[in-house]
Structure formats: structure tokens, C-alpha cells
Amino acid sequence: MTVHVPDRFSEEAVVGWRVWRVPLTFDGPLRLQSPVYSLAWETRYQTEASCIKHVFHRGMMPHSAPDPACTCGLWVAKFVRTLSMQAGSSPTVLSVVGKCSLWGRVVEYTGGYRGQYAYPYELVVIPPKHITNDRDALREIRDDLALDYGVDVAVLGDPGAGTIPAWTTEIPQSIL
């Protein structure tokens, strides 16, 4: 039986939604990054949360992440429609929205979960305004991410580039 308590160790993955940024590099592989801390997400290996807040907050002890009393951990939202984090799409940064699995120590908050370990479950590339019409470039990005991370990746608005998940209709306009 799964019991939802604020702080628990989860053997089974909890799934939610989140946003990543992908810096577009001319050399080197494309990597998902957390928008806030620019933490690069591992390919084919779990990303593990850590917390350095004690360095900046006097009186806070070093702790493992996520901690119920802190804001650390890898964040997902329970509903795609409540995503608000802008990944900062620009000519050099792409925005990706996706389902993400969390496991290990998982702390529930009102809108979602903070987890110890995470891995993307399925990804959707949000076409940035400057390359909306360049399907080939977007499909190449899609293929690279799908191959490296080993998960389904689609390009929003391009049915020829992967199966677009139904939940994408609930992506808030503010992050498109």
C-alpha cells in the first residue's frame, strides 16, 4: 500500500512534470540542465540531489537532500498545468518539458514532490521561436536526446517527430 506522508523512502518511482533547459552547443553532446542551478542531468544514470544551502545559511546543518525543512531536492510538479518555471528559451538555449521519475527519499509539497534520485521519463522539445520552421534541426535535437537519454522524445507541433503525449495540451502558455 502506498501511503502519502511528507517524508518517505520510495521504492517505487513517483512521476511528475518538470522543465529543463538544453544549451545548444556546436561541439559536445546536448544535455538536460536544471533551470535554476544549471545542474547537468546524467544520461542513462540517475541524477542525485545534493544540498549546499548550509554554506550560505548560518545555523543550517549539512544534510542529505531532500530535507523536509529545506527546499532542496529534484523537483517535479504533480500537474503539468501548474508548471511555471521558464527555462529561458533563447537562440542558445532550448526548453524541454517532460515527465520525470523520482525515487529514493521523496518529500511531498503542495504542488508536487522533491526527490533524491531522478530520471526523465518522456520529453517534449518546445520549439524556440527562432527555429520553429527548421524541422530538420529540431528533429536532429530530438534524435540526439532520445538516443543519449534512452527515452521517448517528441517535438511539440511536429507529429512527424515522435508521438506527442496528450498531456502537452495542458502545458501553460507562459512556458511555451
Note the residues at the interface with Zn ion (CB under 5 A). Answer: 51, 53, 67, 70, 72
Cell 550560505 found at: 56
Nearer Cβ to Zn ion, position 53 or 78? 53
Q: How far is the CB of 93 from Zn ion (least distance, A)?
A: 26
List 120's β-bridge partners, or say none. 100
Nearer Cβ to Zn ion, position 115 or 127? 115
Instruction: List phi, psi (to 5°) of 77.
Output: -95, 150
Instruction: Say which amino acid occupies 162.
Output: G
Q: How far is the CB of 73 from Zn ion (least distance, A)?
A: 7
Instruction: Say which amino acid occupies 83.
Output: L
Element (H, E) at 147: helix 135-149
Element (H, E) at 108: strand 93-109
Nearer Cβ to Zn ion, position 3 or 55? 55
Q: How far is the CB of 85 from Zn ion (least distance, A)?
A: 18
- d(C-alpha 170, C-alpha 81), whole Å: 5
Question: What is the Rg, in whole angstroms, of the alpha carbon atoms belonging to the chain?
Answer: 17
Q: How far is the CB of 67 from Zn ion (least distance, A)?
A: 5
Nearer Cβ to Zn ion, position 39 or 70? 70
